[in-house]
Structure 1
């Protein structure tokens, strides 16, 4: 059998892996075959929020043209997913019933939206905001429906809420935590964000969760945990993700919350690897694209044999967002504890806010709102474990002040 590499899934991480792999001097695979369960080629999922808000068009989303795959001899089967893996036989079976043999197999099946587990989720008008089809449907529904409830005040929920607000809908956000973006922000910055979004016309309800979605065939209202009823024409659920591990689990591979991998992204089967949101490394799963890109780069080195010691080393990943025109940056710890000190700077005039968390003269967390230009430098300090003692007093004001002080 000619050396064959099969990739299950064709999202942003799988595409980055392909790009990293073909950039290597020598590729040990005569055949590279991609099975894509979606009917369209890999696209920029990060831009779905700007598509929803009307700031970009669909034709800007694809990551590479068809000619790129043809040039590199990569076969891509759209609308055909791998349904079963036989690790002992090194074979896969696809949704069309075809069987293929592989030398190495990459699972990049991503994740699915988490469910609320409450009555009424199956009603018409109850949506997720996760892929291109969801976005197309939301754009169409926004033309005829007036009120929307978004369940989830994380970045995906707020992006959905902002997009629907921009399309003229009356939007309410329900969030079970006491403040928005509770995985990225502290309570003070979460309150600042909430106030800013409220000024834009969005309704924000924190410390609130739904218990039931009401309607006959189509959603009419949602019931909250305090028994309040809110009428609505549309519900968008954005409460997290669940790694798509079923393909690996059914093949007998070791799984926890995701598909378990080692530092070479190798699963419990020697010739099968997993990257992106579907995988789990040292008990951690991933909901952002940046760690997936790191997986892709590491695995390309492993499989191309260019770096024998290539291993994945998790680093502190920054979250960079713009919600309602407000830039947000978060990296590292976002909640102080008994071992950290907080350096806080706030500009009442501009709404700028910096909260830096320091432990043992090392920066361990950074939360920025408004002016986030210093975010990448703070991220560098966190990941390099830099001693900030020489410029500690100037740290909240950014790199130029710290360099002058040092």
Structure 2
């Protein structure tokens, strides 16, 4: 079978690698000239935490044909050809584009204003920071806040301007956002919310955002982070069904039986996820279907846990913001906030864990497994078990074998244990063997913790067994 993949981002690279590993004939078209990289970690690159080499994704086998720097403008479905290459099955992994709002003075982007979507964007921003003292980030969602923290870490005076009433309004309630904003302020990032930008002025001091209430926010550098829009132009030209994204079914198949779509460009059951976890889950389904490894493979949706990747800030948000029962605890002075949304069956429907809370791992596990929450909610809110019920923080020892350590790649504790037993005895080796921590990067410490625990258990058991073999009967 010949498979053509249009798009060599995180989803396209994963399918190419998996299909190539399974011996299929694969041709990949990538609009960017760079080899595949982890787009989620571009903010970490801005912060100086990781280099270009460190965010590179594993290359596919040598027999996979990579045609980089070659944007696909058209596909001949009747002849089943793309870029002069014949295919049996086609996979669209065209991704998404950064959305730039139609604000006067912002389109086209003026000198000194950037989006952060590609590695070239990151390079340009890094070059700009060398001679700039201040920056303004338009957009206080997840990616905007990560970019703001990275710029502040490089010594810039940063202001986030957000149109909604509070930061990360999709994941946080107002109180949680207030605590987050206070934490950011301590790190040198000022937040201006409920701020409608009416125009952008390019002056001698940099770029100024003029707000509806008359205020002006100025920065020598601007990063626009107002969300993404699925790239559907090619799919539309092909006559495929398109909503907000390319419409796919549970097999990630489009309205054409031989064309699949995955990742940021895809819309499944009305949802364009735009996140790495769902993208890779979809990619694995398509790889299993096209390789014949699992003819019944299906994607039925994702339970999302959002992690903020910003130095000095620990934030995990998941599920619903409101529900049948909501309990919360706030300690703004310590930058701590916890909120649980519990459904009528006593299970976790959503949660926010901000700051240093040892129960975050346990909360994520409860969200994943759907197990009932403790009767004494304080055990999860504050990390201090109540007298009646004791729930220990999640540790490698206490984790069940099926516990998911890396959500982006669905790597369980058992998978890490198996890899360790097979010889992957360092965090880096475990990552290479299982792909754990190669997605959003927030589970790096968890993988290292599991590795350390395994070093004292699995390895120890092996040594004990060897000693027993030497003891005379």
In the superposition, the TM-score normalised over structure 1's length comes to: 0.89
Larger RCO, structures 1/2 (Cα 8 Å, 6+ apart): 1
Distance 1:250 1:276 in 2: 19
Q: CA deviation at 1:391?
A: 5.9
Answer yes or no: is 1:366 the counterpart of 2:351. yes
Answer yes or no: is 1:76 the counterpart of 2:40. no
**What do residues 119-138 of structure 1 show as CA deviations (whole Å, max 9, x unaligned)?**
11122112101111111111
**What do residues 15-63 of structure 1 show as CA deviations (whole Å, max 9, x unaligned)?**
2223333455xx4x3x211111101111112221121112222221211
Aligned partner of 2:16 among 10, 18, 39: 18
- Cα distance, 1:49–1:372 mapped onto 2, change above 3 Å: farther
Distance 2:154 2:51 in 1: 15
- Cα distance, 1:159–1:388 mapped onto 2, change above 3 Å: closer
Match of 1:330 in 2: 317
Match of 1:156 in 2: 143
- Cα distance, 1:348–1:61 mapped onto 2, change above 3 Å: closer
Distance 1:229 1:42 in 2: 39
Q: CA deviation at 1:168?
A: 2.1
SS class of match (1:160): helix
Match of 2:325 in 1: 341
- Cα distance, 1:92–1:359 mapped onto 2, change above 3 Å: same
Match of 2:178 in 1: 191
Match of 1:96 in 2: none
Distance 1:260 1:139 in 2: 36
Q: CA deviation at 1:245?
A: 0.6
Distance 1:213 1:85 in 2: 39
Q: How does 1:206-245 map to 2 (within 5 A)?
A: 206-215=193-202, 220-245=207-232
Aligned length: 388
**What do residues 240-275 of structure 1 show as CA deviations (whole Å, max 9, x unaligned)?**
000001111111011001000000000011111000
Query: Is the contact made by 1:87 and 1:269 (CA closer than 8 Å) also made in structure 2?
Result: no
Distance 2:74 2:205 in 1: 35
Match of 2:98 in 1: 113
Answer yes or no: is 1:104 the counterpart of 2:94. no
- Cα distance, 1:100–1:396 mapped onto 2, change above 3 Å: same
Query: Is the contact made by 1:69 and 1:75 (CA closer than 8 Å) also made in structure 2?
Result: no
Match of 2:370 in 1: 385
Q: CA deviation at 1:9?
A: 0.7
What are structure 2's unaligned runs of at least 5 residues?
393-473
Q: CA deviation at 1:217?
A: 11
In the superposition, the TM-score normalised over structure 2's length comes to: 0.77
Query: Is the contact made by 2:379 and 2:385 (CA closer than 8 Å) also made in structure 1?
Result: no
**What do residues 68-112 of structure 1 show as CA deviations (whole Å, max 9, x unaligned)?**
531xx111111012211122221113xxxxx11110111001100
- Cα distance, 1:232–1:393 mapped onto 2, change above 3 Å: closer
Distance 2:30 2:119 in 1: 14
Q: CA deviation at 1:199?
A: 1.8
Q: CA deviation at 1:400?
A: 7.8
Query: Is the contact made by 1:126 and 1:219 (CA closer than 8 Å) also made in structure 2?
Result: no
Distance 1:104 1:233 in 2: 48
- Cα distance, 1:373–1:38 mapped onto 2, change above 3 Å: farther
Query: Is the contact made by 2:146 and 2:308 (CA closer than 8 Å) also made in structure 1?
Result: no
Aligned partner of 1:138 among 121, 125, 142: 125
Distance 2:217 2:329 in 1: 38
**What do residues 278-307 of structure 1 show as CA deviations (whole Å, max 9, x unaligned)?**
000111001211110110111111111222
What are structure 1's unaligned runs of at least 5 residues?
94-98
Query: Is the contact made by 2:230 and 2:265 (CA closer than 8 Å) also made in structure 1?
Result: yes
Q: How does 1:159-174 map to 2 (within 5 A)?
A: 159-174=146-161
- Cα distance, 1:119–1:405 mapped onto 2, change above 3 Å: closer
- Cα distance, 1:165–1:101 mapped onto 2, change above 3 Å: same
SS class of match (2:353): strand
- Cα distance, 1:313–1:377 mapped onto 2, change above 3 Å: farther
Query: Is the contact made by 2:248 and 2:268 (CA closer than 8 Å) also made in structure 1?
Result: yes
- Cα distance, 1:313–1:391 mapped onto 2, change above 3 Å: farther
- Cα distance, 1:139–1:58 mapped onto 2, change above 3 Å: same
- RMSD of aligned Cα (Å): 2.4
Aligned partner of 1:38 among 20, 32, 35: 32
Question: Which stretch of structure 1 is more off in the superposition, 384-393 or 193-202?
Answer: 384-393
Q: CA deviation at 1:383?
A: 3.8
Q: CA deviation at 1:387?
A: 3.1
Query: Is the contact made by 1:52 and 1:135 (CA closer than 8 Å) also made in structure 2?
Result: yes
